[in-house]
Amino acid sequence: MDTSENVNVHTRKWVLQAESEYRFELDPSATLAIKLVSGHAEIFGAELAEGKVYLFGQECKAAVFTWLGCAIEMSHPSVEYVSDETPMAVYANVHLALEQMRVRALAAVHGLPIPEDEGDDTAGADPPRVLVLGPENSGKTSVCKTLANYAVRAGQDWVPTYVNVDPSEGAWSVPGAISAAPITAPIQTSSPASALGTTATSAPNHVSSNALLPLSYWYGHAEMRRNPLLMDRLIRNLGENIRDRYEGDTAGRCSGLIVDTPASFAASSGTGGDHRLTMIKACVDTFQINVILVVGHEKLNVEMQRTYGNRMAVLKIAKSGGVVELDAAYRERIHKYQLHTYFYGHVIEPPVGITSRGYVQAGEQTPDQTMHLSPLSASVNFGDIVIYRIGEETMAPSSALPIGAARVVSEMQPLVVDPTLGGSGLYNAVLAILAPPNPDESERYDEEILDLPVVGYIAITALDVPNRRMTVLSPSPGSLTGKTAIVGSFEWQE
Ligand SMILES: Nc1ncnc2c1ncn2[C@@H]1O[C@H](COP(=O)(O)OP(=O)(O)OP(=O)(O)O)[C@@H](O)[C@H]1O
């Protein structure tokens, strides 16, 4: 194979030994190109194709791992090193155990003899429904991605459901949402702005061939403690919806699901009002969890063993030494990238000095498809959209209220926001547009909007109070008249 094409002062080659990984981190303006020259390699479980150039940007941090050894060629990242100490063998063993569960579940569905589980003849025929818990920067998302990718790669046509209940993650759309999506192709890593792959919600149809169709509910905030009751309800809505979808989808159900959680489920916030156990319980109940993986946290592992160990497998798995500590400023920048990517898409330019010939961006299937989106800026009447905020405007956590004080407005109450009032908080706000309510009026109920999934997002970029009009940025054409929207605490910044 001719590898000389990109070998110049701007690139060099690394030879990786078996079971080692090349880790890199990018500065805000840096981009990176990596090409697999020979051997086999993967990024969080997604295989690299030989000879294809993968681009990374927007402060991406990741690792190219190889089971048997490989040679890669790349430009210069901001930070790089190779490590042969990885927990990948453990993750692969977990995958094998989950795979056996899938095979047994499918055999049971087809009335075939159920293969025995090595060493465990009491094993049932339930597909794996895995909850991944761990503190901040333990690598939960990376573990979930790896396990989902290994399932997809197993060649059994599994379609695992990836559930993200971390509202700060952004997942397939914008931060503030919790979502689930069936994974049909390995999740590529190229930018933290689309950490779990490309979504179909903002991309026009012609570029959504590799996109996912997630089911999302809008929580509206990055932190669970902001409104735990709402979070609990949305998690349960997500679970119920997935169960409904599974009814006619045997392959999906047998493939199981993997639930990625926020760090706040693992560590108490410190200032009272510790809702994390309630959240874990909501996940266990609604997703019918039968395996809990605790990433690198002894105390949480013991706690989970005590609470759930008699009903399901609770496993502690090691944290990878490669996981990068992400600080608050970084997370804020990522939220900005995610919002921007939702509306405008993103194109990662090849690094300086590297030919763009034949380059494709990770996650895309054909080289001529870029993710450059053109959102629309439209002027709408105040009366066209009904905007709600859930709960009190300045919501202090219940634990912060004086003893004996009751909330005047319930945390779950949808309140109509009047754009004409000063301090409406709508200028530069990100809004979730909800699916229509039940067409049958008799089936409607007060808090129905809490249970409606999201169909898309808009941002309010200007408010003209005297003329009762506002300018909104929307990813696609289509009338907003008569739509219901919810505002959260995310701000749009151009
Ligand atoms: N082996 C590795 N080598 C290099 N970077 C890695 C590795 N594993 C994870 N990372 C990076 O470290 C960062 C944190 O990892 P990840 O998002 O998986 O952790 P998390 O526990 O889900 O985070 P959070 O605190 O947001 O819940 C990410 O940017 C991820 O891509």
Is 61 labeled as ligand-binding?
yes
Coil, strand or helix at 121: coil
From the number of C-beta atoms within 10 Å of its C-beta (0-12, 13-18, 19+), residue 126 rates as: middle
Q: CA–CA separation, 343 vs 364, rounded Å?
A: 18
Strand 32-39 and strand 70-74: the pairing is: antiparallel
Q: CA–CA separation, 79 vs 324, rounded Å?
A: 11
pLDDT score of 281 more than 70: yes
DSSP codes of every residue in 129-195: EEEEE--TTS-HHHHHHHHHHHHHHTSS---PEEEE--TTT-TTS-TTEEEEEE--SPPP-S-GGGT
Residues 396-402, mean pLDDT to the nearest whole number:
58
Q: CA–CA separation, 435 vs 454, rounded Å?
A: 6
Is 299 labeled as ligand-binding?
no
Average pLDDT, the chain: 85
Residues 381-405, mean pLDDT to the nearest whole number:
73
Residues 63-68, mean pLDDT to the nearest whole number:
97
Is 138 labeled as ligand-binding?
yes
Is 35 labeled as ligand-binding?
no
Q: CA–CA separation, 408 vs 65, rounded Å?
A: 54
The predicted structure's pLDDT at residue 311: 93
pLDDT score of 364 more than 60: no
Task: Please name the residues in contact with 458: beta carbons below 8 A apart, sequence gap of 6 or more.
Answer: 430, 431, 433, 472, 473, 474, 475, 480, 485
Centroid of ligand 1 to alpha carbon of 201 (angstroms) = 25
> How confident is residue 211, by pLDDT bands cut at 50, 70 and 90?
very low
> How confident is residue 199, by pLDDT bands cut at 50, 70 and 90?
low
Contact 266, 297 (CB under 8 A): yes
CA nearest ligand 1 atom 29, residue = 61
The predicted structure's pLDDT at residue 477: 77
Q: CA–CA separation, 302 vs 308, rounded Å?
A: 10
> How confident is residue 400, by pLDDT bands cut at 50, 70 and 90?
low
Helices and strands in the chain: count of H runs, count of E runs: 7, 25
Residues 422-439, mean pLDDT to the nearest whole number:
90
Q: Which two tokens stand for residue 475?
A: 């990813």
Q: CA–CA separation, 226 vs 99, rounded Å?
A: 37
Centroid of ligand 1 to alpha carbon of 195 (angstroms) = 10
Q: Report CA dihedral (330, 336, 337, 338) to the nearest 10 degrees.
A: 110
Q: Closest Cα to residue 277, out of 130, 410, 131? A: 131
Q: What structural domains and CATH numbers belong to the chain?
A: 4-85+348-372 (2.60.120.1030), 88-317 (3.40.50.300), 376-491 (2.40.30.330)
> How confident is residue 103, by pLDDT bands cut at 50, 70 and 90?
very high
> How confident is residue 129, by pLDDT bands cut at 50, 70 and 90?
very high
Contact 222, 167 (CB under 8 A): yes
The predicted structure's pLDDT at residue 358: 47
Q: Which two tokens stand for residue 264?
A: 């706040």
DSSP 31: -
CA nearest ligand 1 atom 18, residue = 139
User: In this structure, which amino acid lies at residue 154?
Assistant: A
Residue in this structure with the two tokens 């905030």, named with its chain if needed: 221
Q: Which of 21-35, 148-162, 408-422, 473-487 has the lowest mean pLDDT?
A: 408-422
Handedness of CA 429, 433, 438, 439 (dihedral sign): positive
CA nearest ligand 1 atom 8, residue = 323
Residue in this structure with the two tokens 């493939």, named with its chain if needed: 255
Task: Tell which wins on pLDDT, 272 or 313.
Answer: 313
Residues 160-177, mean pLDDT to the nearest whole number:
90
CA nearest ligand 1 atom 11, residue = 323
DSSP 336: H
Q: Which two tokens stand for residue 312?
A: 């399901």
DSSP codes of every residue in 258-307: EEE--GGGTS--SSS---HHHHHHHHHHHTT--EEEEES-HHHHHHHHHH
Q: What percent of the chain has pLDDT over 90?
A: 58
Is 374 labeled as ligand-binding?
no
pLDDT score of 99 more than 50: yes
Q: CA–CA separation, 431 vs 387, rounded Å?
A: 8
> How confident is residue 248, by pLDDT bands cut at 50, 70 and 90?
confident
> How confident is residue 359, by pLDDT bands cut at 50, 70 and 90?
very low
Q: Which two tokens stand for residue 168?
A: 């700060």
Q: Closest Cα to residue 391, out of 359, 364, 417? A: 417
The predicted structure's pLDDT at residue 195: 78
The predicted structure's pLDDT at residue 323: 94
The predicted structure's pLDDT at residue 404: 59
pLDDT score of 362 more than 90: no
Of the segments 5-9, 141-145, 266-270, 397-401, which one has the largest average pLDDT value? 141-145
DSSP 212: B
Task: Tell which wins on pLDDT, 146 or 212.
Answer: 146
Q: CA–CA separation, 103 vs 109, rounded Å?
A: 10
Coil, strand or helix at 437: coil
pLDDT score of 194 more than 50: yes
Please give the number of the atom of ligand 1 that sits closest to the Cα of 324. 12
ipTM: 0.98
Q: Closest Cα to residue 33, out of 347, 346, 356, 369? A: 356
Residues 427-431, mean pLDDT to the nearest whole number:
94
User: In this structure, which amino acid lies at residue 469?
Assistant: R
Of the segments 104-118, 269-283, 382-396, 445-459, which one has the largest average pLDDT value? 445-459
Q: CA–CA separation, 99 vs 101, rounded Å?
A: 5
Residues 261-266, mean pLDDT to the nearest whole number:
93
Find the residues whose C-beta lies inside 6 A of ligand 1.
Answer: 21, 23, 61-63, 134, 136-142, 192, 262-263, 320, 322-324, 326
The predicted structure's pLDDT at residue 318: 95
- Quick one: which H or E segment has residue 38? strand 32-39
Contact 87, 64 (CB under 8 A): no
Q: Closest Cα to residue 185, out of 282, 47, 320, 287? A: 47
Residues 118-136, mean pLDDT to the nearest whole number:
82
From the number of C-beta atoms within 10 Å of its C-beta (0-12, 13-18, 19+), residue 50 rates as: middle
Centroid of ligand 1 to alpha carbon of 139 (angstroms) = 4
Residues 207-215, mean pLDDT to the nearest whole number:
55
Q: Which of 8-12, 178-182, 211-215, 362-366 has the lowest mean pLDDT?
A: 362-366
Q: Report CA dihedral (231, 237, 240, 246) to the nearest 10 degrees.
A: -100
The predicted structure's pLDDT at residue 205: 41
Q: CA–CA separation, 393 vs 17, rounded Å?
A: 56
> How confident is residue 351, by pLDDT bands cut at 50, 70 and 90?
confident
Q: Which two tokens stand for residue 37?
A: 């020259």
pLDDT score of 355 more than 90: no
